[in-house]
């Protein structure tokens, strides 16, 4: 089980809109405390930015380029992630399982949404 920490950035304190990145907690703490010698690629789990329009309980999705440009002034992932890391708040989670046998749910602690519109395994 891996430790899970996310950094959540809210562009407006009155809004429920949130942008999230998953980080390595040890490297993020060093980076946040001013040690910028650590490459940002080691700080973040990936350069994938998650977005929720409903706060922490909302379904996490990928923001559009227009949303990124409006909020961050750029669509370049490194710049967006840097702003989130600098201005966001760290939130720790329990972790998630990886590998065979582990169930991969929404790793950033959003809701567990299942698409039940398809046939699933019963139609095979």
Domain ranges of the chain: 5-100
| Helix, strand and coil percent figures for the chain, each rounded to 5 | 30, 20, 50
Determine contact, residues 81/44, Cβ cutoff 8 Å: yes
* Side-chain half-sphere CA neighbours of 118 within 13 A: 5
41-75 pLDDT, tens per residue? 999 988 999 998 887 777 889 999 999 999 999 99
Per-residue pLDDT at 123 exceeds 50: no
Which is higher by pLDDT, 49 or 121?
49
CA distance 47 to 5: 14
Per-residue pLDDT at 32 exceeds 50: yes
Q: Which of 1, 9, 2 is nearest to 68 (CA)?
A: 9
Per-residue pLDDT at 2 exceeds 90: no
Per-residue pLDDT at 81 exceeds 90: yes
Place of tokens 């169930």: 103
Residue 97: pLDDT band (50, 70, 90) is very low
Q: Which of 68, 63, 56 is nearest to 106 (CA)?
A: 56
User: Mean pLDDT across the stretch 99-120?
Assistant: 47
CATH tag for 5-100 (out of 3.30.1250.10, 3.30.413.10, 2.40.50.100, 3.10.290.10): 3.30.1250.10
Average pLDDT, the chain: 78
């Amino acid at each position: 089980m891996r430790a899970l920490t996310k950094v959540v950035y809210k562009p407006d304190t009155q809004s429920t809109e949130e942008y999230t990145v998953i980080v390595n907690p040890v490297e993020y703490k060093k980076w946040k405390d001013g040690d910028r010698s650590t490459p940002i690629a080691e700080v973040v789990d990936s350069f994938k930015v998650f977005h929720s329009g409903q706060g922490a309980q909302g379904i996490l999705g990928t923001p559009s380029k227009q949303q990124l440009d409006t909020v961050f002034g750029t669509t370049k992932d490194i710049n967006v992630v840097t702003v989130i890391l600098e201005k966001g708040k760290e939130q720790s989670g329990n972790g998630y399982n990886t590998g065979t046998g582990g169930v991969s749910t929404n790793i950033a602690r959003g809701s567990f949404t299942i698409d039940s519109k398809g046939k699933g395994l019963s139609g095979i």
